[in-house]
């Protein structure tokens, strides 16, 4: 497939639905061969990409398990070649007041939102560095700047992901690898729609752009960050939230 990512192999985590499926579809539209790593079945997303003329595979993978991530890396390499783009999108965002939070609740959030970034980067970075080109994008959240009650574990895990982004970017820049974060606002997905108290309209009213964000609002920013156009941009967090956070 032609496009500005033609010849690239991209891994997108948590792309069976929600924001991740839009990322996978867009990267495939731009010409990348896409591997989806998710616990859930992503066959529909792969099918949609193939129908549009793109190339994709879906691997069942628990991203909190380093052995499973290593096995997924081996399979991606065998079937699509060395991955040069890694989009760490999978995440959980339960709401729970701090005084009812157990350490297990805390660890569950960190194990995916933060620890899994360690596992995927450990697995996929060596191939990028060896090839002298790589793009890592960690999906964080605008909630780190606009905190509401009930998300101490979530915000802490996403702030850790931002710190990880900055520090890792510093270590790998010499090998042609950039590491950035992409921070959505409140995005309409099956998960947020199922939330009992998701206040789409109230949030939209606070944004500069007064409509509810959808996954496709993030795909242009992602494509830019993983393209050659963003070669001199690293260690940054790009917030795409309709101007809710004005920094
Ligand atoms: N939706 C929003 O409003 C919003 C806002 C800010 C940030 N974000 C961030 O964007 C990302 C995607 O959000 P979303 O709303 O699309 O989420 P989602 O719930 O729709 O999708 C998350 C995906 O991650 C997968 N997953 C969960 N645990 C996994 C595991 N252990 N191993 C592998 N896959 C696993 C799920 O199967 C699912 O497909 C998350 O990192 C989230 O924190 C979302």
**Among 180, 174, 173, residue whose Cα is nearest residue 86:** 180
Mutate to test the pocket of ligand 1, among 18, 87, 148, 202 (most ligand atoms within 8 A of CB): 18
When mean pLDDT is compared across 50-64, 65-79, 137-151, the lowest value belongs to 137-151
Cα 174 to averaged position of ligand 1 atoms, centre (Å): 31
Q: Which residues contact 11 (CB under 8 A, 6 or more apart)?
A: 34, 35, 37, 76, 83, 85, 86, 87, 120, 124
The pLDDT score that the predictor gives to residue 147 is: 74
The pLDDT score that the predictor gives to residue 2 is: 73
Residues 168-185, mean pLDDT to the nearest whole number: 98
Largest CA distance in the chain: 53
In ligand 1, the atom with minimum distance to the C-alpha of 154 is 43
Report domain 9-240's class.
Answer: alpha beta
The set of catalytic residues is: 154
- What is the per-residue pLDDT across 226-235, written as a single tens digit (0 to 9) for each? 999 999 999 9
Q: What are the structural domain ranges in the chain? A: 9-240
In this prediction the pTM is 0.98
Atom 43 (ligand 1): residue with closest C-alpha?
Answer: 91
Atom 7 (ligand 1): residue with closest C-alpha?
Answer: 141
């Amino acid at each position: 497939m032609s496009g500005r990512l033609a010849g690239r192999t991209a891994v997108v985590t948590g792309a069976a639905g929600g924001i991740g499926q839009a990322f996978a579809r867009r990267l495939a539209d731009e010409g990348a061969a896409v591997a989806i790593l998710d616990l859930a079945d992503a066959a529909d997303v792969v099918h949609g990409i193939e129908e549009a003329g793109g190339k994709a595979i879906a691997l069942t993978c628990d991203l909190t398990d380093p052995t499973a991530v290593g096995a997924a890396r081996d399979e991606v390499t065998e079937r699509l070649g060395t991955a040069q783009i890694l989009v760490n999108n999978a995440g959980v965002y339960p709401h729970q007041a701090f005084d009812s939070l157990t350490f297990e609740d805390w660890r569950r959030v960190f194990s995916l939102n933060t620890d899994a970034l360690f596992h995927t980067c450990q697995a996929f970075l060596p191939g990028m560095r060896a090839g002298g080109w790589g793009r890592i994008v960690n999906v964080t959240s605008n909630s780190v700047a606009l905190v509401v009650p009930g998300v101490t574990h979530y915000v802490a895990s996403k702030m850790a992901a931002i710190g990880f982004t900055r520090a890792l970017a510093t270590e790998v820049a010499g090998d042609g690898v950039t590491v950035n974060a992409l921070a959505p606002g409140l995005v309409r997905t099956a998960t947020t729609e199922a939330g009992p108290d998701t206040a789409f309209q109230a949030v939209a009213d606070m944004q500069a752009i007064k409509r509810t964000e959808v996954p496709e609002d993030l795909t242009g920013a992602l494509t830019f960050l993983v393209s050659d156009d963003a070669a001199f941009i690293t260690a940054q967090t790009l917030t795409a939230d309709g101007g809710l956070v004005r920094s």
